[in-house]
Amino acid sequence: MTERKTSHPSSVVVLDHPLVQHKLTRLRQKETSTAGFRRLTRELSLLMAYEATRDLPLETVEIETPLEWTHGHLLSGKKLCLVSILRAGNGILDGMLDLVPAARVGHIGLFRDPATLEPVEYYMKLPEDIGERVCIVVDPMLATGHSAAAAIDRLKHAGARQLVFVCLLAAPEGVAFLSKAHPDVKIVTCSIDRELDDHGYIRPGLGDAGDRLFGTK
């Protein structure tokens, strides 16, 4: 997977692999159906998970193949916790669980106040051992960055120490905000789009990811 890093303070990785960009373009299209949007999001989730888990620690183990004994590598320690920012984060969560089915899962319920654009929490449930796991936080859109930063604030307060934020699309404003609030958090995205509009939507974007995933609009 080819990566391109920006000059932002935190580590920002934009996935420019041809398959990622092909699927993202299909995802953006207005005529893509709800079923197609879900399928493409799931496929992109697998590709993003590949990059998000690049730095997981390994341990050397001895195994027996059908021909001989040899050494291999397995993931070390408590491994992963996938944290979905509800509700749209579940669209990415499902695809990542296909790749790492043993991962623990947490949920944070946040919605953006339409007047202030500030995040409001209504739910949070996390594994007790979250401090021992690499936490991959998933949400399709990094727009203003306020919800992502608020979610990571809560995760750190709960004991999380290693965090990665994964999204389909990001706005420059959201990347800058999250990078400043949490410079230790790696951001993985398929695209950094042009800008936010006056309503806090990413342009050109792909519309409301939650509504397109769940067919609610």
Could you tell me which residues are annotated as the binding site for 5-phospho-alpha-D-ribose 1-diphosphate? 87, 112, 139-147, 208
Tell me, yes or no, if 116 is annotated catalytic. yes
Of 32, 211, 212, 216, which residue is the catalytic one?
211
Examine the residue annotation and report whether 193 is marked as an active-site residue of this protein: no
- Binding residues are 87, 112, 139-147, 202, 207-209
112 catalytic, yes or no? yes
**Tokens 């594994």 sit on residue:** 127
Q: Which of 4, 112, 161, 198 is catalytic?
A: 112
Active site residue 133: no
Between CA 166 and CA 207, with CA 204 as vertex, the angle to 5 degrees is: 70
User: Coil, strand or helix: which one is 133?
Assistant: coil
The strand pairing partners of 64, in sequence order, are 69
Q: Residue 130: how many CA atoms within 13 Å on its side-chain side?
A: 23
Cα separation, 195 vs 173, in Å, equals 7
Contact yes or no for 214/87 (Cβ under 8 A): yes
For residue 1, give the amino acid letter: M
Show the CA angle centred on residue 190, arms to residues 152 and 148, nearest 5°: 15
| Cis amide leading into 119 (omega within 30) | no
Catalytic residue among 60, 65, 116, 198: 116
Q: Which of 160, 166, 187, 167 is nearest to 176 (CA)?
A: 187
Of 153, 208, 212, 216, which residue is the catalytic one? 208
Strands 69-75 and 58-64: antiparallel
Q: Where is the binding site for uracil, in residues?
A: 202, 207-209
Q: Which active-site residues does the annotation give?
A: 112, 116, 208, 211
